[in-house]
Amino acid sequence: MPDRKPRATARAGEEPAPDSFFRDLVWSLRNGVLAVERDGTVAVMNRVAYQILGLQPRPSDIGRPFTEVLKEQQEVCRIVSAGFELSHLPNRAELRLKSTGKVIGYTLSQVRDRRGQVTGATLFFKDLTRVEQLEERERLRDRLAALGEMAAAIAHEVKNPLAGIEVMAGLLKRQLADSADAQSILGDIIKEAKMANAIVVEVLDFVRPIRLQVERVSVADAIRDALSLSEAHVTRGDVRVDVDCPDHLPLIQGDTHQLRQIFTNLLTNAYEALGAQGQVRIHASAINEEGPAGGEPQGPMVQVDVSDNGPGIPLEVVDRIFSPFFTTKPQGSGLGLAIVRKIVDAHDGRIDVGLADGGGTRFRVTLPVTGNHLLFGLDPAAAVPDRARTAKRASRR
């Protein structure tokens, strides 16, 4: 049997255990801990707190005013200050950090001595960003489910009259072959009917549940196929495309056809934004993504950036570009990026949009090498909400 050293313990009324044990305990917690003394100096700040707040640990932080240590996180400063001012402190509240965009859930408490005097304040918090993303995905799916039922019914009803209009316009065009004006007008009618029918088909594709045909898929192959398919949708012109897809990228579990559609839609959008002049860059890499601070790692991922040097997306519409039927194009249906996000969600991945280096737009698609919904054979449309609810319950206890 290994030797066991006696552990310092504290009984009621006796001195507590050595400070080093409590420092190690706090530093090892999987939640962020920030403790401030009554004079406003930092008493404790653990590793997870630094990670969530995006700060570098410095031994000199202990004993410094918290307003100096947290000068980049003014929202957190205001919360800690409230620990000495409010009589009812927030419990299980949430806050979005402006500097990083992270969502934290926090509890604020007062530290009191044996006489009941307030000697400090403590902030316990956890990174809920991933939970918020899952909840937003669940809310989006609920909205899309209701919208889908309505859109499918309307699309089926509209599709038949459109086909009739196109057929009758074609018959009239043949009968009025000698009238140039009639030929022009009927040609426009047929063109508009075809465009409306294409939108109806897109709506039906969007509202139809995704059933993934799962296999081991090469993302590089999907990108190469998308390069050819995108040119069939829109004229590429003088746009130069640079592709950087290493041969050693891991295969992922996914649907080849659906993944091909993701990159086809993104490339089509890039070509249209550039107007047949500019550059598109595709960069793929394997990453091992860390989970939320204090949580489990997310595991191996394949990350693909599709960026262009076009005019970019106005900041005021960035939050809406994945919404169904929202578009900035005169002839757009507003379903292209909504379908892309739906496919990415079905693969248990995520898609983000941002500013490309040197201007333009960058779409980043991150796909897990092995998704939970694929491992267990779940229907992606049903699996995500359940997972979101589970994550929410587990993270907010």
Q: For the chain, what is the domain count?
A: 3
Say whether both 366 and 312 belong to one domain.
yes
345 pLDDT higher than 70? yes
100 and 114 assigned to the same domain:
yes
Contact 61, 69 (CB under 8 A): yes
106-146 pLDDT per residue, tens: 989 888 888 888 889 999 998 888 777 777 777 777 776 77
CA-to-CA distance for 22 and 36, rounded, in angstroms? 16
| 176: Cα separation from own chain's centroid | 55
pLDDT at residue 304 in the model: 95
Same domain, 203 and 220: no
Structure confidence at residue 394 (pLDDT): 40
Say how many C-beta atoms besides its own lie within 10 A of residue 274's C-beta. 21
Residue 244 belongs to some domain of the structure: yes
How many Å separate Cα 92 from the centre of its chain? 24
The answer on 324 and 204 residing in a single domain is no
DSSP of 9-66:
---TTSPPSPHHHHHHHHHH-SSEEEEEETTSBEEEE-HHHHHHHT----GGGTTSBH
Please indicate, yes or no, whether residues 359 and 216 belong to a single structural domain of this protein: yes
Helix (H, G, I), strand (E, B) or coil at 331: coil
Q: What is the pLDDT of residue 330?
A: 58
Task: Examine the domain organization and report whether 145 and 285 are in the same domain.
Answer: no
Question: What does the alpha-carbon distance between residue 120 and residue 180 come to, in Å, rounded to a whole number?
Answer: 87
Question: Does residue 230 sit in the same domain as residue 370?
Answer: yes
The answer to whether residues 243 and 351 belong to one domain is yes
The answer as to whether 143 is a domain residue is yes
> Are 197 and 260 contained in the same domain?
no
Residues 164 and 307 in one domain: no
Q: Is residue 159 part of a domain?
A: yes
User: What pLDDT, on a 0 to 100 scale, did the predictor assign at position 252?
Assistant: 93
Confidence at 186, pLDDT banded by 50, 70, 90? confident
Q: Across all residues in the chain, what is the average pLDDT?
A: 79
Contact 10, 21 (CB under 8 A): no
Please identify, among 94, 127, 160, the residue that sits at the C-terminal boundary of a domain: 127
Task: Give φ, ψ of 351 to 5 degrees.
Answer: -130, 135
Q: 72 is in which domain, residue-wise?
A: 19-127
**Considering 209, 235, 258, which residue would you say is the last residue of a domain?**
209
Q: Which residues pair with 303 in a beta bridge?
A: 285, 366
- Please state, in angstroms and as integers, the Cα–Cα distance from residue 38 to each residue in 118, 267, 321, following that order: 7, 57, 47
Q: Where are the alpha helices (DSSP H) in the chain?
A: 19-28, 47-53, 66-69, 74-82, 129-175, 180-207, 219-233, 256-274, 336-346, 372-375, 380-395
